[in-house]
Amino acid sequence: METTLRGVGVSHGVAIGEVRHMGTAVLEPPAKQIPAEEAEREQGRARQAVEAVAADLVARGNLAGGEAQGVLEAQAMMAQDPELMADVERRIAVGSTAERAVYDAFAAYRALLAGAGEYLAGRVADLDDVRNRIVARLLGVPMPGVPDSDEPFVLIARDLAPADTALLDPALVLGFVTEEGGPTSHSAILARALGVPAVVALPGAGEIVEGTVIAVDGSTGEVFVEPDADQRAALERAAAERKAALAASSGPGATSDGHKVPLLANVGGPGDVPAAVEAGAEGVGLFRTEFLFLDDSKKAPSEDKQVEAYRKVLEAFPEGRVVVRVLDAGADKPLDFLTPADEPNPALGVRGLRTLLDHPDVLRTQLAALARAAEGLPVYLEVMAPMVADRIDAKAFADACREAGLRAKFGAMVEIPSAALRARSILQEVEFLSLGTNDLAQYTFAADRQVGAVSRLQDPWQPALLDLVAASAEAAKAEGKSCGVCGEAASDPELACVLTGLGVTSLSMGAASIPYVRATLAKHTLAQCERAAAAARAADTADDARAAARAVLSGE
């Protein structure tokens, strides 16, 4: 009998297939003592296992490329953390086996992360995955991860580590469902980049029996258990209609009555550029430069290395717009040479622009590299600062850009409610705004973007969040300046229409979402988008806002 479950849809498309569950986590190693003379050998085994796992994660990142590469390299650094390794060796010296020492050392570090504020607690799943891989290697058992199968399947897991998500084969893994996670988790972002339908934050997903046929709608968040023939036909029809609409849509983003809405791509480095170009991106709306800095947490990349990476992206969009976000370090992206290790709540501490203003040499080098990278190119370079709180922040960033001789527009990201509420003040110092809806939702609702239990508050359809978007867009219009959205909200086609109706002037998203957004915008007039936006803001909940906007856009 068919049952319908509802989670959070994070990646468009429909997948129908049999369930396969993620391989079980490594069992806890026995706590047995070893003779003192074996300690050195066990320490060597532990070091070899750590280095092998780190090398495997880096290799997976190289294969995956793009955003996934930076995420996996950060995980490899986690595996090689010198303090963790020192703790492992201390435990072996007093009699633990290598596998037990790794298990206990990671458990202690896990407890520290879990208690260090929600931002770092969101990295516990990544830490657990690293531990499981090291322990599995030491025990000589298969690595935890995606199950082997000769036939395509739908994957179900409690959560998916970046190492698993990054190398999913879309020809084999039709889609995935997780019990944990949220719309802006690493897995959700990577799923969209891969174009794999996905639903996250679905309680009880792990109870679905292996081999059961399910249908996953990554647009609505619905999961149909044992769908009947009529339901399967309806879903397949809807999927075919979406595919046809995508094929028929091309060119610049615009509403049906010709109101232009440039559709840009979010990229993490040169590896993401081909997909963006293929999707018809009109430029880059968010170039996340921090992935370049994650290669080595001990020191910043040289100016020459930065120039090389930046120029590859700029060259891909001749006469297009490329918006570069300067380094956003801190919180879930700690760097040993920049960010303090003992902050009680890193998400509310020194991160983003605050970090750069504390280390002006790092900012100066990055701005100089961007200036050199753009030399001689017809590209429209725009540079923006993350985590701008007020006009003082905006002025400090604009002054730094001028001092570096940067010929570009200077902008500010709106990720803190104060920036949205005082957007007009900030626009006295900078030339554009870009809304990072992921962090803006996090700070508006005090809801960590990595914690599945509060995912409803991370829903970008929340009317309070739409109010802040509207305030920013209205301020930009009053000042004759632009206001884009570069958060994951832009990748939702119906929400893209609402954002357009709120006055947003450009939309930036993962490359895989661009065709969906382009096709949906092209079906509606600007007036329809404005009515849908008004209906959504008049609602009291995210679900009601979504339903109200949908009713307007469908002409009901």
Contact call for residues 516 and 242 (beta carbons, < 8 A):
yes
Give the rounded distance of the alpha carbon of 170 from its chain centre: 19
Question: b/e string for 91-101 if b means 16 or more Cβ within 10 A?
Answer: bbeebbbbbbb
- Residue 443 predicted with pLDDT over 70: yes
- Residue 267 predicted with pLDDT over 70: yes
Mean pLDDT of 151-157: 91
pLDDT in tens, 463-475: 999 999 999 999 9
Amino acid type, 450:
Q
Mean pLDDT of 310-330: 92
Q: Which helix (H) or strand (E) covers residue 224, if one does?
A: strand 222-225
Q: Any idea which of 50-59, 385-394, 429-438 has the lowest mean pLDDT?
A: 50-59
The label of the residue with tokens 């009317």 reads 463
Query: Could you say which DSSP state residue 288 is in?
Result: E
Higher-pLDDT residue of 333, 256: 256
User: Of the residues 401, 483, 486, 529, which is catalytic?
Assistant: 486
CA 309 – CA 291 distance, rounded (Å) = 11
Contact call for residues 281 and 514 (beta carbons, < 8 A):
yes
Q: Strands, E, within 142-182: which ranges?
A: 153-157, 173-178
Q: pLDDT confidence of 185, banded at 50, 70, 90? A: low
Query: Could you say which DSSP state residue 271 is in?
Result: G
Question: Can 186 be counted among the known catalytic residues?
Answer: yes
Q: Which two tokens stand for residue 282?
A: 């009109």
In 3D space, the residue among 525, 527, 509 whose CA is nearest the CA of residue 517 turns out to be 509
What confidence score (pLDDT) does residue 120 get?
46
pLDDT in tens, 109-139: 777 765 554 444 456 667 788 888 899 888 8
Record the pTM.
Answer: 0.70
- Residue 400 predicted with pLDDT over 90: yes
Mean pLDDT of 10-31: 82
pLDDT in tens, 465-509: 999 999 999 999 999 999 999 987 998 899 999 999 999 999 999
Contact call for residues 105 and 88 (beta carbons, < 8 A):
yes
Report the chain's mean pLDDT, rounded to a whole number: 87
With a pLDDT cut of 70, the percent of the chain lying above it is 91
What confidence score (pLDDT) does residue 260 get?
97
Higher-pLDDT residue of 80, 248: 80
Q: pLDDT confidence of 428, banded at 50, 70, 90? A: very high
User: Of the residues 12, 186, 359, 524, which is catalytic?
Assistant: 186
Q: pLDDT confidence of 43, banded at 50, 70, 90? A: very high
